[in-house]
């Protein structure tokens, strides 16, 4: 029985992704974000459970990638798809063609997420760090942003063209050759200053966002999560250009 426990946890991740996708298509952004977060929790524990029980195998690896593709690829794509139907369109995109076509470009995110997951399974370099943005971080960013900033994203200050460019940027981040932090094992100040600085700043951002937001703690935390993941990307990129400490 114990050999099935990690796969059951992975399937819980997959189910969360399905519910998040359903919620996103029905404009339930906060519900979608909550189930993306729950999926991330299950994703965190399935591999660790498999290693703890000594039952790791190829089936679990493949199932994990399929579940991640739904929860961290299709679900955020569905959120962006729905958002495209509510954002403002600039004058040069004010035609029926763009109104019909642009929402479907959201599924580029799902495609790039699938490529990212396939690369992760094959890339031997990613045991101690990620190469490109991990799909859970990308999904949490979009879930947090859309669920907490919908009013701003659908205001005249933002539009479908900006949304498309922003989405393309994150599609590139998923598959780029930029090393990004992986929080595996213990790390020390001498070797990983940038990682520790990021953790401290991210904690401060989350605390201040929760305290200062007038719309409630959950909205504040969601906005803080989006900002923290943006900081994660920037800090990882800066750290990748710094000289590595010698052992």
Query: What would the pLDDT profile of 13-40 be if each residue is shown by its tens digit?
Result: 999 999 999 999 999 999 999 999 999 9
Q: pTM higher than 0.85, yes or no? A: yes
Is 115 a member of any domain? Answer: yes
Give dist(CA 219, CA 199) in Å, integer.
21
Look up the domain containing 39 and give its range: 2-185
Is 239 a member of any domain? Answer: no
Is 87 a member of any domain? Answer: yes
Q: 124 pLDDT band (50/70/90 cuts)?
A: confident
Give dist(CA 179, CA 232) in Å, integer.
11
Burial 202-226 (b: 16+ CB within 10 A, else e): beebbeebbeebeeeeebbbbbbbb
Q: For residue 131, list its beta bridge partners.
A: 179
Share of the chain above pLDDT 70, in %: 94
Is 127 a member of any domain? Answer: yes
Is 102 a member of any domain? Answer: yes
CATH of the domain at 81: 1.20.120.1760
For tokens 């990620």, name the residue: 130
Task: Mention every residue, 6+ apart, whose C-beta is less than 8 A from residue 79.
Answer: 24, 29, 32, 142, 143, 146, 147
The closest of 131, 245, 117, 127 to 185, measured between CA atoms, is: 127
Q: Which residue has the higher pLDDT, 41 or 124?
A: 41
Q: pLDDT digits over 60-72, tens only?
A: 888 999 999 999 9
The closest of 126, 29, 38 to 81, measured between CA atoms, is: 29
Is 93 a member of any domain? Answer: yes
How many domains would you assign to the chain? 1
Q: 110 pLDDT band (50/70/90 cuts)?
A: very high
Give dist(CA 156, CA 178) in Å, integer.
34
Is 190 a member of any domain? Answer: no
Q: 247 pLDDT band (50/70/90 cuts)?
A: very low
Is 208 a member of any domain? Answer: no
Give dist(CA 14, CA 42) in Å, integer.
9
Give dist(CA 143, CA 79) in Å, integer.
7
Q: Look at residue 231 and give its three-state secondary structure.
A: helix
- Please compute, for residue 149, the number of CA atoms within 13 A of its CA located in the half-sphere on the CB side: 19
Widest pairwise Cα distance in the chain: 60
- Please compute, for residue 197, the number of CA atoms within 13 A of its CA located in the half-sphere on the CB side: 11
């Amino acid at each position: 029985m114990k050999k099935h426990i990690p796969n059951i946890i992975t399937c819980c991740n997959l189910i969360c992704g399905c519910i998040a996708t359903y919620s996103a298509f029905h404009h339930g952004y906060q519900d979608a974000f909550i189930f993306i977060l729950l999926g991330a929790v299950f994703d965190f524990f399935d591999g660790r459970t498999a290693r703890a029980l000594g039952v790791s195998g190829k089936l679990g690896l493949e199932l994990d990638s399929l579940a991640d593709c739904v929860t961290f690829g299709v679900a955020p794509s569905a959120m962006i798809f729905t958002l495209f139907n509510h954002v403002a369109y600039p004058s040069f995109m004010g035609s029926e063609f763009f109104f019909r076509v642009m929402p479907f470009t959201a599924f580029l995110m799902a495609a790039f997420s699938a490529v990212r997951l396939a690369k992760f399974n094959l890339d031997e370099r990613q045991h101690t760090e990620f190469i490109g943005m991990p799909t859970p971080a990308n999904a949490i960013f979009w879930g947090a942003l859309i669920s907490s900033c919908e009013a701003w994203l659908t205001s005249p200050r933002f539009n479908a063209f900006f949304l498309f460019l922003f989405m393309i940027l994150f599609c590139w981040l998923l598959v780029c050759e930029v090393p990004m932090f992986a929080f595996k094992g213990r790390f020390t100040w001498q070797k990983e200053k940038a990682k520790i600085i990021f953790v401290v700043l991210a904690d401060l951002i989350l605390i201040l966002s929760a305290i200062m937001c007038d719309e409630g703690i959950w909205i504040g935390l969601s906005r803080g999560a989006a900002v923290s993941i943006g900081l994660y990307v920037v800090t990882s990129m800066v750290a990748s250009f710094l000289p590595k400490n010698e052992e």
